[in-house]
Amino acid sequence: MYECCVFDLMCGGETYFLWIQLFTYLFFCLSQVVHAHKPHFMALHCQEFGGKNYEASMSHVDKFVKELLSSDAMKDYNRARVYLDENYKSQEHFTALGSFYFLHESLKNIYQFDFKAKKYKKVTGKEIYSDTLESTPMLEKEKFPQDYFPECKWSRKGFIRTRWCITDCAFDLVNIHLFHDASNLIAWETSPSVYSGIRHKALGYVLDRIIDQRFEKVSYFVFGDFNFRLDAKAVVETLCAKATMQTVRAADTNEVVKLIFRESDNDRKVMLQLEKKLFDYFNQDVFRDNNGTALLEFDRELTVFKDRLYELDISFPPSYPYSEDSSQGKQYMNTRCPAWCDRILMSHSAKELILKSENDEKIVVYDHIGPNVCMGDHKPVFLSFRIAAGAGKPIANVHKCCVVQ
Whole-angstrom distance, CA of residue 319 vs CA of residue 10:
10
Of 311, 315, 290, 285, the residue nearest 300 (C-alpha): 311
Identify whether the C-beta of residue 150 lies closer than 8 Å to the C-beta of residue 202. no
Identify whether the C-beta of residue 186 lies closer than 8 Å to the C-beta of residue 219. no
The pLDDT, as a whole number, for residue 9 is 66
The pLDDT, as a whole number, for residue 97 is 94
The pLDDT, as a whole number, for residue 329 is 87
The pLDDT, as a whole number, for residue 16 is 47
Q: How many CB atoms lie within 10 A of CB 275?
A: 18
Q: Where are the beta strands (DSSP E) in 31-168?
A: 41-47, 79-84, 98-103, 110-114, 119-122, 126-129, 140-143, 158-166
Inter-CA distances, 257 with 36, 196, 334, 360, 394, Å: 48, 21, 16, 54, 62
Q: What is the pLDDT of the chain when averaged over all its residues?
A: 87
Whole-angstrom distance, CA of residue 195 vs CA of residue 204:
14
Identify whether the C-beta of residue 172 lies closer than 8 Å to the C-beta of residue 345. no
CB burial readout 63-84, b (16+ within 10 A) else e? ebbeebeeeebbeebebbbbbb
The pLDDT, as a whole number, for residue 86 is 87
Whether residue 137 is preceded by a cis peptide bond, meaning omega within 30 degrees of 0, is: no
Identify whether the C-beta of residue 85 lies closer than 8 Å to the C-beta of residue 141. yes
Identify whether the C-beta of residue 319 lies closer than 8 Å to the C-beta of residue 374. no
The pLDDT, as a whole number, for residue 25 is 67
Identity (one letter) of the amino acid at 299? D
pTM comes to 0.92
pLDDT, averaged per 10 consecutive residues of the chain (405 residues), comes to 63 51 67 83 88 71 85 92 90 91 92 97 95 90 87 82 90 96 95 95 97 94 97 96 95 96 89 98 95 96 97 96 89 97 95 64 82 87 77 46 55
Q: Where are the beta strands (DSSP E) in 316-375?
A: 342-346, 357-358, 361-362, 365-368
